[in-house]
Amino acid sequence: MAATFTIAHFTDPHLPLLAEETRLLAAKPSKRLSGILSWQLKRRHIHLPEILAAAVADIHAHQPQHIVLTGDVVNISLPEEISRAAAWLAALGTPGHVSLVPGNHDAYMAGAFDAAQQQWAAYMQGDGQTPDQHFPYCRIRGEVAFIGVSTAVPTPIFSATGHVGHEQLSALGDLLNTLGKAGLMRIVMIHHPPGAAGASTRKGLTDRAALLEVFARHGAELVLHGHTHKGVFDRIAGRRGPIPVLAPSSASALDPHGENARWHFLEISRTPADGWQTQVTVRGFSPDSGQFCTEGRFSLLP
């Protein structure tokens, strides 16, 4: 592969609900009603399609070799939202060029993720896998291994927790072990944060401790996540030292009480000592210029 491998990471686009969808569903009491209220009262004023379009244009202008999207593509997992998102994904990039993991809003109700599982399958499929094989998936691009973990499970009303599950944890451990022995740069993509930023009972991973054990035992070079809607620069324990954990804010947000939209441009290269170095450029939306610009740059050393 080239000396440097480039990746764009963005998250939580929350593509907009349509007005008629919110009107039709408002009459039906369900968890979706709380999602609609949240959209109508708050989220539709924060997650703006024009900001997301500017973020995607800025990502495309950087010509990353791979794009990572860590979930919450939609809001309440309506079939219509999932179909619109499939068209939006097609415009974002080809399935081989974009790796997606789902968020809790993509599996909002029991059974609601089935449509996404089918329509977004090509973006969540490992090398050599068939569409009916699911998480964790693994794609190898050059010397970088992208490992997709799903934490998206339906939850009760007012809960936004995630769950990895025993089967996935076991398969993740095996994958990390094999890919580590092969000397690849292992990037784990997951919606809910594995670090302290995700520790809340209402929004965190219910089996976070077990996931941390897998990382501590097998290691990884980098974890990319979403869910927080604010920038996270964290570390968790790995096999040979701390593993950097990164998340940008929501890529569609214009939020006077929170963080505006950001995405991360990652440049990965081998170090002379056979480790990995990641240069992170934070691209953020500036309301003054109406454009994305570089807000900061830093290096993650092995």
Nearer to Fe ion, 66 or 229 (CB): 229
- Of 66 and 191, which CB lies nearer to Fe ion in the complex structure? 191
* Minimum CB distance to Fe ion, residue 206 (Å): 17
- Listing DSSP states for 221-233 in one string gives SEEEE-SSSS-EE
Measured from the CB atom, the residue of 22 and 249 that comes closer to Fe ion is 249
Residues 6+ apart with CB under 8 A from 46: 250, 252, 253, 254, 255, 258
CB of 258 to Fe ion, least distance (A): 12
Q: Which residue stretch of 12-20, 57-65, 257-265, 286-294 sits at the interface with Fe ion (rule: CB under 5 A)?
A: 12-20
276-286 and 262-270: which strand pairing?
antiparallel
Pairing relationship of beta strands 276-286 and 291-300 according to DSSP bridges: antiparallel
CA distances from 189 to 136, 194, 248 (A): 10, 11, 13
267 touches Fe ion (CB under 5 A):
no
Select from 15-23, 66-74, 153-161, 291-299 the region that touches Fe ion (CB under 5 A): 66-74
Distance CA 101, CA 225 (A): 9
Please report whether residue 72 would count as binding Fe ion according to CB under 5 A: yes
Between CA 89 and CA 87 the distance in angstroms is: 5
Nearer to Fe ion, 12 or 58 (CB): 12
Q: How many of the chain's residues bind Fe ion (CB under 5 A)? A: 2
Q: What is the token pair recorded at 127? A: 């090398």
Q: Which of 5, 8, 9, 12 binds Fe ion (CB under 5 A)?
A: 12
**Residue with Cβ nearer Fe ion (73 or 164):** 73
Contact footprint for Fe ion (CB under 5 A): 12, 72
